[in-house]
Structure formats: structure tokens, C-alpha cells
Amino acid sequence: MSIKPQMDSHVREKIIADPEVLLEDQDIMRALVAANEQSMGGNIVDLRGIAMERLEARLDRLEDTHRSVIAAAYENLAGTNQVHRAILRMMDATKFEVFLHDLSTDVADTLRVDSMKLVLESASETEEPAVQQMGSVLGVVTEGFTDDYIGRGRSNPIRQVTLRQIQTEDADLYGDKAPYIRSEACLKLDFGPGRLPGMLVMGAEDPHQFTPQQGTDLLTFFAGVFERAMRRWLS
């Protein structure tokens, strides 16, 4: 005994000609599974349907993870390119004054930070006239200032790169921009034997640009290059 199909003949012919189209459409497959469960009644447990639902949920999680990994890879690549461009620009300078000017302009723009400040420790509190002229990007501080600022008076070990969110009105480092800076990256600098350390501080108005949860590999590399450039100028 044959049952006359209730489906439109053109649709039926399309499905018979290419049944894989149905298998690749998740919405249609869910509708078919639901219809099959309804036809079996509420007293029958469809283990195949349950397994299918679990596989679909697992596939969705894997797809979300895949998208997150791809996004993180692109973000890391973009960050690497930024740091590389900033280093190349920094190495173009032939004079220390040009080096400092580029640091506060082109290098800061490339790294997308709103403030850049180079801090040098000194045993003398008096500033040279040349340092005073570059006060917006270069500052001389007393011995021990770097560790105190990075550690905020705590006894924790000082890392080379410290990322954190801040809220300060202190104009010593950021000048007129101090009320707007909401996150910063502090790069401790080692200028070699016999020299006091220094610090490069990057400030951003975006509170999420520098946070403790972020990786520091790229900024550690940037700090290493910056240290070597500064040793050449200081010598």
C-alpha cells in the first residue's frame, strides 16, 4: 500500500537529487529530529537525538574556541607589527634630542599611547639645562624612584614590565595629561654596570589598554632594545 507524498513535487525531486543539502543544514536537521521525537511519543527516549544534541553543543564550543584563538592570533600579530615599527622609527635618530622627540611623537603614535615619559635616576637633584628643555618627555629623579614608583612602596619583586590601571592627578610624570591617564606600562631600564637604572612609562587614556592580565613579551622585547639604544647615547 503506497502513501501519496504530501510534499511539493519540485521540492521532493530536489531533495532526492541532492540529499546532502539537507544534511548540511543544521536548522532543517533539528526540525527533522524534533518531528521524529514527536512521532515516537513522550514515553520513548531517543538516545541518538540526545547524542546529536551533545555533539552539536560540543561543536559550538569548539567553533567559539577556534574564533577566539584566531582573534588572539591576529591581535598578537598586530601588536608585533606595532612594536617592530616603533623600534625601527626609534633607531632612525642620529641625535639624542631627535631620539627623544621621536619617542614622544612618532613612537608614541605607533604604539597608540597618549603619553611617553623617560625617567633617569641621578645622585644629584639638580637638572641640566638640556634636561629641563626636554621636560615633557625626559625627567631626572632621585635614586630609588624607579623601584618605589613601580612597586608603589611594596616589597614585591620588581619586574621589568609592569602593566596596571591607575587614576592619578600627579603631574610629575604625565604633566597636564595626568587627570586623563587611566592605565600605564612601566618599563624598568638597566643601563649597564656603574649606572643608575631608569624607567620608560607609557600612559593611556583607555583603562583597558594596559592591564595586569595581558602578556608582556612584546614590551619586554621593546624594553631590551630601548636599553641598548640608551646605552649608546649615554656613552
What pLDDT score was predicted for residue 9? 78
**Average pLDDT score, the chain:** 81
pLDDT given for residue 39 in this prediction:
63
pLDDT at 174: 86
Q: Determine how β-strand 183-189 pairs with β-strand 138-142.
A: unpaired
Average pLDDT for 154-173 = 82
Angle 93-180-176 from CA coordinates, rounded to 5°: 65
- Residue 78: what pLDDT? 77
According to DSSP, residue 116 is labeled E
Number of domains comprising the chain = 1
Per-residue pLDDT averaged across 30-37, rounded?
69
* Most confident of the following: 64-78, 117-131, 134-148: 134-148
Q: Tell which wins on pLDDT, 43 or 225.
A: 225
pLDDT of res. 62? 82
pLDDT in tens, 182-203: 999 999 999 988 899 999 999 9
**186 part of a folded domain:** yes
The pTM for the full model equals 0.67
Handedness of CA 13, 11, 57, 71 (dihedral sign): positive
Mean pLDDT computed over 17-22 = 76
- Amino acid found at 96: F
SS3 content of the chain, % helix, strand, coil (to 5): 55, 15, 30
CATH number for the domain that contains residue 136:
3.30.450
In a domain, 121, yes or no: yes
Whether pLDDT at 234 is above 90? no
> How confident is residue 132, by pLDDT bands cut at 50, 70 and 90?
very low
Domain span at residue 155 reads 94-234
Of residues 37 and 67, more confidently modeled? 67
Q: Is residue 7 part of a domain?
A: no
Question: What is the model's pLDDT at position 172?
Answer: 75
Per-residue confidence (pLDDT) for residue 203, from 0 to 100: 93
Asked if pLDDT for residue 179 goes beyond 80, the answer is: yes
Q: Is the pLDDT of residue 1 over 50?
A: no
Mean pLDDT of 125-138: 58
pLDDT at 81 over 60: yes
CA distances from 139 to 45, 112, 120, 125, 162 (A): 74, 21, 6, 11, 19
214 within a domain of the structure (yes/no): yes
- Is residue 18 one of the residues assigned to a domain? no
* CA end-to-end distance (rounded Å), the chain: 100
At residue 130, does pLDDT exceed 50? Answer: no
Strand order in the sheet with 198-204: 138-142, 115-122, 198-204, 183-189, 161-165
